[in-house]
Structure 1
Amino acid sequence: MKVSTTTVTSVGLCLLALAVGTYSNVFEPVFIQDANPSFLCLPKNVSDISGRVYSHMNVEHSPYLKGMDCTMTLNTHPGKRINIRFDYFDLAPGWDSSSNQCRTEGTSPTDSFRIYESGMIARIRSDILQPDVTICGGTGKFPPDYQSSGNVITVRFTTDDISTADAGIKFVYTSFTPPEEGTTDCFKCEDGTMCIDQALLCNGMPNCNDDSDESNSLCKDGNDNIFQQGLDTLGIKLVAIIGAAIGLVFLITIILCIACCCCCGKSNDSIKKQYRAPPTPRPGSYPSHASNYSSYSSSASTTAGRPPYPMHYPPAYPPIQNGGYAVAYNQTNGRMEFPHKV
């Protein structure tokens, strides 16, 4: 039986899926440099209460595109604000220590990430509006979290014409209410910076800047999925390898069981074919009860040209026949007496 690698991987992944179970609220990221070339750098608008934003597809593993100027607008309900929490940041060095700012203007601009407290894309692209924050690489510091003053912000990711090996940006945006304005139906982060929607608690994505919405004390209950904890600890790649190994062992076990059953079946068939009942012997043609034993008289023997008694004896018959009766020669009268019980 031939087993393909695809089959093993599929079985391993199926077993892994059964083990892990359903895990809801896993947010799919949106890309500033879109993965679809047709929408590569078109303005985008996001209005969910929370989500993940990546600079491009395969962030952390492949460099972003050069020569791009892309924008994405984030908005929430009036009266609420937007928090940006950076989880990964790797841009080409562009910090000018002499001017203590990023090289975004003049003859040598650099790759930069800017945040505007506005949703007017035309004014942003024409540089009529100035960014509230400009971040570039080479500062030696991880960028701090950002909180808006209104309910609409626009992020702008610009890259120069020089190819680099830098792997981009990842951040989480969250709609929140200032703690002093929060109500009883929101969750207050332990660092006192935000009051977030209850739906964002224990969803697998940290929204509070101090991770308090995903703390073990808050999220641990009787229904904790140990396999999900394994995913968080080991990582999806290692868990996938383990799942494939489990699938391989499972398939090998099934194959061995099938092979053993087939061998046992063939062995039993062989034994059955080797055994053969002994053949029933063909019965002999012996005289029956209706035999005319008078034909064995001495006169008949004489008539037949045989010498008289005692020179000749009648032909020999099996001593036992016809159910235990036998033929006996009577020397007195010269006849075969029949039947006699043995």
Structure 2
Amino acid sequence: MELSWVQCFLLGLVFTYVRAATRNIDMGYYCTHPGNRVDISDSDTGELFLDPYHASEDCSVTLVAAVGKRIFLQFTDISIRGISGHRDCTDELFVKGGSYGGGIRPDSSWERVCGISHPDFDAHNRHVTLKFKSYLHGYGHIRIRYTVYHSAHYDGCDGYTCLGRDMCIDDSLMCDGVDHCGDNSDEEHYSVGGCGVLHHRQWLKKIGIIAGCVGGVLLLIVVTYICYRRKRSPATTTSDVPMATVAQTTNRGPPQGTGGGSYSPPPSYDEVVKSSPPGNAVV
């Protein structure tokens, strides 16, 4: 029974303190290795980084979310300049929603990112491709946060709907100290009551989980006790044919023959002697 209590307690901790699934991606790996598709279907958020990047980098990465999901990018910390002292960007980072191979050259349909800041980018797609190229004197760093979401308008939302965007994010991303919506509504305006509302509901959820664990263990104890008692009880045998009572046996009389005739008792000694022929003595 002690093992059941321990297992239930650990299971309760897992569900109570669940956090968002994250995956961080080193973009520099894809500068030297073939293949550029990264499956992020099992994550809710993460960071794509190239810190620092060096001269003559040439990288292409495509993030792939689960079917029905979309990807939202925030350029949290970037420094893309190029040659020291130049205000214009000689190094280049391009972003576009969709999946594109490494050999495709970005055109005007791609969004160009440079400098030390850039507006958020909503891919509206389960794929988003980033292409980066630095030149001989390139230097700098790139840190981009991605958030996986789905459309609250078309698919409904069982998590949190951002106030300024049609984004439904996982409720584990709310009030975690990170702005995933782009307008900080998931940190400040949850249910128009701030994060205090969420914290209150999280405590209620924890209490419910603990109560469920305790109830489950008590039920297990009761079932085990009942099974134990039934196993210890003596077995009783029953017969389909009732036993005859003593009185019924006494009053039943001599058994009847199978042929249906009456029963005749054997002759007495005197009858045998009288019926014997003369000369034959009966011993």
The TM-score, its normalising length taken from structure 1, stands at 0.44
Identity %: 20
Distance 2:178 2:20 in 1: 8
Using the TM superposition, give the Cα deviation of residue 171 of structure 1 relative to its aligned residue in structure 2, in angstroms: 1.6
Please show how residues 62-77 of structure 1 align to structure 2 within 5 Å: 63-77=52-66
**1:209 matched to 2:182:** yes
Distance 1:223 1:77 in 2: 27
TM-align CA RMSD: 3.4
Q: Which residue of 1 aligns with 2:93?
A: 113
In 2, are the aligned partners of 1:93 and 1:136 still within 8 Å (CA)?
no
In 2, are the aligned partners of 1:26 and 1:205 still within 8 Å (CA)?
no
The one of 72, 84, 97 equivalent to 2:73 is 84
- Map Cα deviations across residues 243-273 of structure 1 (whole Å, 9 max, x no partner): xxxxxxxxxxxxxxxxxxxxxxxxxxxxxxx
Using the TM superposition, give the Cα deviation of residue 37 of structure 1 relative to its aligned residue in structure 2, in angstroms: 9.1
**1:183 matched to 2:156:** yes
Using the TM superposition, give the Cα deviation of residue 65 of structure 1 relative to its aligned residue in structure 2, in angstroms: 1.7
**Partner secondary structure for residue 196 of structure 2:** helix
Q: Which residue of 1 aligns with 2:26?
A: 31
Distance 2:23 2:110 in 1: 27
AA paired with 2:22? F
Using the TM superposition, give the Cα deviation of residue 174 of structure 1 relative to its aligned residue in structure 2, in angstroms: 1.6
Please show how residues 1-342 of structure 1 align to structure 2 within 5 Å: 24-25=19-20, 27-34=22-29, 39=33, 43-48=36-41, 49-56=43-50, 59=51, 63-92=52-81, 110-122=90-102, 125-127=103-105, 131-137=109-115, 142-164=117-139, 166=140, 168-203=141-176, 205-215=178-188, 216-221=195-200
AA paired with 2:46? R
Distance 1:113 1:128 in 2: 10
In 1, are the aligned partners of 2:73 and 2:147 still within 8 Å (CA)?
yes
Q: Mark the structure with the bigger radius of gyration.
A: 1
Using the TM superposition, give the Cα deviation of residue 130 of structure 1 relative to its aligned residue in structure 2, in angstroms: 5.4
In 2, are the aligned partners of 1:206 and 1:214 still within 8 Å (CA)?
yes
Using the TM superposition, give the Cα deviation of residue 85 of structure 1 relative to its aligned residue in structure 2, in angstroms: 1.4
In 2, are the aligned partners of 1:116 and 1:155 still within 8 Å (CA)?
yes
Which ranges in structure 2 are unaligned for 5 or more consecutive residues?
A: 1-16, 189-194, 204-283
- Map Cα deviations across residues 135-157 of structure 1 (whole Å, 9 max, x no partner): 112xxx72000111322111112
AA paired with 2:61? M
Distance 2:45 2:64 in 1: 12
Using the TM superposition, give the Cα deviation of residue 28 of structure 1 relative to its aligned residue in structure 2, in angstroms: 4.5
How many aligned residue pairs are there?
A: 178
Using the TM superposition, give the Cα deviation of residue 43 of structure 1 relative to its aligned residue in structure 2, in angstroms: 1.9
Distance 2:151 2:201 in 1: 32
Distance 1:70 1:126 in 2: 12
Q: Which residue of 2 aligns with 1:312?
A: none
- Map Cα deviations across residues 121-169 of structure 1 (whole Å, 9 max, x no partner): 14xx2317655201112xxx720001113221111121111143x2x12
- Map Cα deviations across residues 215-258 of structure 1 (whole Å, 9 max, x no partner): 4335434978xxxxxxxxxxxxxxxxxxxxxxxxxxxxxxxxxx
193-202 or 84-93, which deviates more: 193-202
Distance 1:130 1:77 in 2: 28
Distance 1:222 1:67 in 2: 51
Q: Which residue of 1 aligns with 2:227?
A: none
The TM-score, its normalising length taken from structure 2, stands at 0.52
In 2, are the aligned partners of 1:114 and 1:156 still within 8 Å (CA)?
yes
